[in-house]
Structure 1
Amino acid sequence: MNRQRVRVTAALLTAAALVGVTAPTAAADDNAHGARHGTHGGTAPTVRERLDLLVDADGVPGALAYEGRRTVRAGTAELGSGKPMVGAEGRFRMGSNTKAFTAAAVMRLVVDGRLRVDDRAGRYVPQLADSPITIRQLLKQRSGLADYAGLVDWEKPLSDEGYLGLVLKEDLQFEAGTEWGYSNSNYLVLGMVITRASGTDYRTYIERTILKPLRLESTYWPGPGELTPRGPHARNYGVHPLHPEQGLTDVTELPAYEFFGASGGLVTTPKDLNAFWDGLFGGKLLPRWALRQMTHDTTEVGGRDVYPEGSRYGYGVASIPLSCGGAYWGHGGDLPGVSVGGGRATDGRGTVTVYTTTVAAQGSRLAHLQGAVDAALCDGR
């Protein structure tokens, strides 16, 4: 779901726990692009080399980079099986990339005149009736709300209202609007705002206004009790939140509907996620002024959480500097058993989705995942 809270899980994962498990390490659909480690002399590592480092050095079971015309894969779809990593049609949980979909849906409501970003959230969410928190502050991660991801009892799922009730029992992290602090609770609340403002469940609204217009036919919300991604998918590995005593294990089955919601609940494919970034930043979902607001009303977040220096956070999207100049806009996401990076670069440099089948939210894993995104978008430029 995110980025900070998931590190409790990530800390339990070590490369040593997976090193030594037999896995194919260099499957790719474009064999013309780069050989393995260091064959390019002093040049920057290629996408293939970054993915190989994730598998061979970091112990990640499987990794994939999809650039539209090319899919590069490393590792295996299932430990001990010898199965190659799935391709661009393989489904995975996108985690906090879901926030970009939620933010785009909020802006669709703004465009249609059904809410304003400076409305108080309490206008739509009765539990916040006495709070000064605005929709803008929720979008920008500036509300100060505690993160519900660190408060849930994984054995007792609640409604969104129930999770918000847990949050409101906690002190604010800071006064609304004064600081930036990543919290899944912001997008939990925005899902509730969408439901009230649109008159339909936020899942249905996002399907109607984003998934269907962009024809994202492989992207969906899991239903209640649905634990496993539909269709082709790789297995995921990590510490299961319901069974932490088991240590490193297969975590492919997770109760996504019950816990992740508007902050991290969507399932997708690399092909669909790329199509979303292209559709959003290509102006297919929102008028130019609304997209400009999402990407220009931003906060400097470089050096905080997983964001490198020079990064900025807008409305459910972030800009990450590229080594070749410019930046890319996307989000990123982590859940037990998956990390996702990527987005659409400025100046027409392309779009990429990179994901791994275990958490890669810190240390060398994070560097290699973000490096694969950078390599894909800067290759030859």
Structure 2
Amino acid sequence: MYPLILILFLFMSFNVLANKVNTYDELTEALETIRVKNDIPSMSVAIITSGEVTYIKGFGFLDEEKTKPTDSKSLYRIASVSKLFTAQAIMQLAEKKKIDLNDQVGRYLPSFAQSGITIKQLLTHSSGINDKVKPVNFEKMRTVSSYLGIVKQSLQIDVESKNFEYSDANYNILGALISAVSGESYEQYVQKNILMPANMDKSGYFNGKNSYIFETKPTYKGKLIDKSKQRPYDPSFNPSEGLISNVHDLSQWLKLTLTDEPLILKKQTYKEMLQPQVKTSWGEIYMGLGWQVYKSADGQIARHPGSIRGYKSLVLTYPDSKNALILLTNSSNTPRWEIAKSITQALKESAKW
């Protein structure tokens, strides 16, 4: 039984409890219908209500034979949701006065000494850097240093006019900065300072040897994407898209984030990350520090979607009410926003959101 149902059993009458159970049964049925309709082999969902996990479930199967059910601990490439962890790592260093967000990146990474780019511009995708440099296969063992060198060579920036342009390179550079300032690899820093405090025991970054390899295989319209066309796993891109995780671990981390838990950041820092900084090209959505933020009829929303070939993910939060949902799938054709709408409608109807 889900924790929410246990709480309801203790505090509500049988009739009210039955109505709540039906609501969640209906939500499960609706999500499974969407999964089947869109040929999504594996899908995992977690819902947080008032800062507590109230629903968590896997849908579909990990194998073509349909013998291994997906569950809440099934691993996915979470794609750009990884950027939220890089942003929190940067904010930790800022809290410790090891960096200032207005510092120029060249102060820590000499190869960018003449760029005039600041840390905050990287965080808000307003540095002027685009994604000309693409990931390469893990087997090529491209170093972070060589990646940065290629990015630097590709720079064509008008320092006086830096508009919003979403770019993985911004966060890959931030990852290198985290390493330079902390004295340890980006992966080690995030593991020690975010993943471990959040009890994300099964999450991490694949290094060719360890167990952090996604269990869900990348697909499009139900068919496995050929290996030659899959998104390369490049350690240089770990800060922007490399985290491998599941909804169980992510929900533990998101609970801490929503409730301003000092294990990761100070309360004021969490709030600072949600302040609009730069207007995006996506309507009335602004970049906060890592988060994409905007206003709705339900109050402030902070989100971050993730998408690489064969995977789509979404973290959608309502900071004022401490409600949130997490969605991970192994399909490029996942209708993330339809799924999010189904979840929010069901919860509103049940008066839980």
Q: TM-score range by the shorter chain?
A: 0.7 to 0.9
Q: CA deviation at 1:350?
A: 2.1
User: 1:352, 1:377 within 8 Å by CA — same for their partners in 2?
Assistant: no
Amino acid at match of 1:78: D
Cα distance in 1 for partners of 2:71, 2:160 equals: 43
2:267 to 275, 283, 288: 288
Q: Does 1:33 align with 2:3?
A: no
Aligned ranges for residues 156-305 of structure 1 at < 5 Å?
156-172=140-156, 175=159, 178-224=162-208, 229=213, 233-238=215-220, 243-244=228-229, 256=233, 258-284=235-261, 285-301=264-280, 304=282
* Identical pairs, percent: 21
Q: Does 1:151 align with 2:143?
A: no
Cα distance in 1 for partners of 2:39, 2:247 equals: 22
1:356 to 325, 329, 332: 329
Aligned ranges for residues 59-138 of structure 1 at < 5 Å?
59-67=39-47, 68-79=53-64, 81-83=65-67, 85-138=69-122
Q: Structure 1 residues 350 and 124, CA, compared in 2 at 3 Å: closer, same or farther? A: same
Q: CA deviation at 1:366?
A: 4.0
Cα distance in 2 for partners of 1:319, 1:379 equals: 25
Q: Which residue of 1 aligns with 2:337?
A: 367
Cα distance in 1 for partners of 2:155, 2:36 equals: 41
Q: CA deviation at 1:78?
A: 2.6
Cα distance in 1 for partners of 2:291, 2:156 equals: 23
Q: Structure 1 residues 120 and 99, CA, compared in 2 at 3 Å: closer, same or farther? A: same
Q: CA RMSD in A?
A: 3.0
Q: Deviations over 1:143-187 (max 9, x none)?
A: 111215x53444744212222222233343664663111100001
User: 1:51, 1:369 within 8 Å by CA — same for their partners in 2?
Assistant: no
Amino acid at match of 2:36: V
Q: CA deviation at 1:240?
A: 5.3
Q: Structure 1 residues 281 and 72, CA, compared in 2 at 3 Å: closer, same or farther? A: closer
Unaligned 5+ runs, structure 1:
1-29, 37-45, 245-250
Q: CA deviation at 1:373?
A: 5.5
SS where residue 317 of structure 2 aligns? strand
Q: Deviations over 1:66-102 (max 9, x none)?
A: 12222344443333x2346412121212111111111
Cα distance in 1 for partners of 2:234, 2:155 equals: 27
Runs of 4 or more, structure 1, over 6 Å off, are: none
Cα distance in 2 for partners of 1:183, 1:87 equals: 32
Q: Structure 1 residues 77 and 107, CA, compared in 2 at 3 Å: closer, same or farther? A: same
Q: How many residues are aligned here?
A: 321
TM-score (norm 1): 0.74
Amino acid at match of 1:32: N
Q: Deviations over 1:338-371 (max 9, x none)?
A: 111123323325222112111247xxx2432443
Cα distance in 2 for partners of 1:176, 1:47 equals: 51
SS where residue 290 of structure 2 aligns? coil
User: 1:342, 1:354 within 8 Å by CA — same for their partners in 2?
Assistant: yes
Q: CA deviation at 1:127?
A: 1.2
Q: Which residue of 2 aligns with 1:336?
A: 309
Higher helix share: 2
Cα distance in 1 for partners of 2:135, 2:34 equals: 34
Q: Which residue of 2 aligns with 1:317?
A: 291
Q: Deviations over 1:303-340 (max 9, x none)?
A: 63xxxx44322111123556x61243231212222111
User: 1:152, 1:163 within 8 Å by CA — same for their partners in 2?
Assistant: no
Q: Structure 1 residues 259 and 47, CA, compared in 2 at 3 Å: closer, same or farther? A: farther
Unaligned 5+ runs, structure 2:
1-19, 48-52
2:33 to 43, 52, 56: 52
Amino acid at match of 1:116: D
Q: CA deviation at 1:139?
A: 0.5
Cα distance in 1 for partners of 2:35, 2:160 equals: 38
Q: CA deviation at 1:198?
A: 1.0
TM-score (norm 2): 0.79
Cα distance in 1 for partners of 2:59, 2:158 equals: 42
Q: Structure 1 residues 126 and 94, CA, compared in 2 at 3 Å: closer, same or farther? A: same
Q: Structure 1 residues 213 and 124, CA, compared in 2 at 3 Å: closer, same or farther? A: same
Q: Structure 1 residues 136 and 161, CA, compared in 2 at 3 Å: closer, same or farther? A: same
Cα distance in 2 for partners of 1:212, 1:82 equals: 33
Q: Which residue of 1 aligns with 2:11?
A: none
SS where residue 22 of structure 2 aligns? coil
Cα distance in 2 for partners of 1:359, 1:176 equals: 37
Cα distance in 2 for partners of 1:175, 1:241 equals: 41
